[in-house]
Amino acid sequence: MTTIRPRDRDAVIQSLRVGVVPRAGQHLIQVGRIREVQALVRDIATIADGGATFRIVTGEYGAGKSFFLGLVKAIALEKKLVVASADLNPDRRLHASGGQARSMYAELMSNLSTRARPDGGALGAIVEKFVGTAKEAAVAEGRAVEAVIREKLAHLTEMVNGFDFATVIAAYCRGHEEGNDLLKVNAIRWLRGEFTAKTDAREALGVRTIVDDASVYDQLKLLARFVRLAGFGGLIVCLDELVNLYKLSNTQARNANYEQILRILNDCTQGTAEGLGFVLGGTPEFLLDPRRGLYSYPALQLRLAQNAFTSSGLVDFSGPVVRLAALEPEDFFVLLQKVATVYAYGDGAKRIVPDEAIKAFMEHCNGRIGEAYFRTPRTTIMSFIGLLAVLEQNPGARWEDLVGAVEVRADLGCDTVQKVVAEDEGGSTAAAAPPDGGEDELVAFKL
């Protein structure tokens, strides 16, 4: 592994320490999930070929869903796709009547990424690239730029809001030619869904529609075709934390969101969408609960049902649901090796702990917690980084003493495993806060 810059190393380690996925550097700690990744790579190839895909990635809290979605995003960017990503919350939904769906769309546009702009904010650059391509074609053909743009976007006018979409792109081009920055800004605002009143959009751009709750999905289909015209492979939408839909107490609101998921699933599998893919992340309860989950909606239950022949360890990654299985202990050993190497700035020879310490750490956790420990990479990494931090800041400490100081207790009647440190008299502890997602976990190491 090559040397890692301190800034990049700190960004990865600090994210992992608090149980969140780093925005960059996932490849430094990626292990296992080979077949799952291969399935999504095939999806990316399908999108780049003009097709459409739909996937739901499920796994327990801390099993690596967000990490997996981040890895998919990184691969898609390398394959010259555009990626829009967002986390759902009570104010962001797929369907709503109070602005929550438009809020989700605005977040997607804010996080729109390309390989040149992996951290988001790429919408303006995509429009600029399309306009630049149109200008080159106009010069070569001796035609007006706006006429070329209208011709390129002609097939979009058959879609919902397609005519206004083409009008806004033409307005951006006109602002580009005339040096009218206000016109360009208004065009980008419309594309981002920032207009809240149709009268404002009509005065600014001459269009009669805006991106509202009812048109979010149609706008994404338009954007998917547009980015292909701009020279990209397609658009992949990554939505995480769909458990927030499961938590909706209003049955009607919950079912309306599930109907939207059904619509997306049908479009992507029936070929009516072009160059568009969806990857949704959620917990098993969000999928399987027959009372409030996706399985409570009969049409979705039928389409998302597990293959009846995938028993006795057999798998099928051709369906719409990707279930993240628990990592094998061997994968965890490699994972912790990589974490220790990243902690040492990429120099494996300078790792704080040897392989024997990693083995002892795993054996201790396996003996105290059992197989359940290896189902959640988040807690494994958090506790291991805590160990590395203590060893780094206390040169006289020995990993043998620290690993043996951890006691584990599993509460009866609760699936959550708690890690608690017994503190001797006069000792002190360094504890990591419980990760988000509702897990009651506490990891502490005796100093």
What is the residue type of 110?
Answer: S
pLDDT of residue 326: 74
pLDDT of residue 105: 97
DSSP conformational letter for 327: P
Question: Which mean pLDDT values do the consecutive 10-residue runs of the chain (447 residues) have?
Answer: 81 88 80 87 96 93 83 93 96 94 96 94 95 90 87 89 92 91 96 94 94 95 95 96 94 96 95 94 93 95 90 83 83 90 89 90 74 67 89 88 58 33 36 38 32
Comparing CA positions, the residue from 96, 85, 90, 86 lying closest to residue 212 is 96
From the CB of residue 426, how many other CB atoms can be counted at a distance below 10 Å?
Answer: 5
Token reading at 252: 């009607």
For 324-336, b/e burial (b = at least 16 CB within 10 A) is: bebbeeebbbbbb
pLDDT of residue 429: 36
Angle at 222 between CA 211 and CA 242, to 5 degrees: 70
Q: Which residues pair with 443 in a beta bridge?
A: 432
pLDDT of residue 365: 75
Contact 61, 376 (CB under 8 A): yes
pLDDT of residue 372: 59
pLDDT of residue 371: 56
pLDDT of residue 339: 92
Residues 447 and 422: their CA atoms lie apart, in Å, by 11
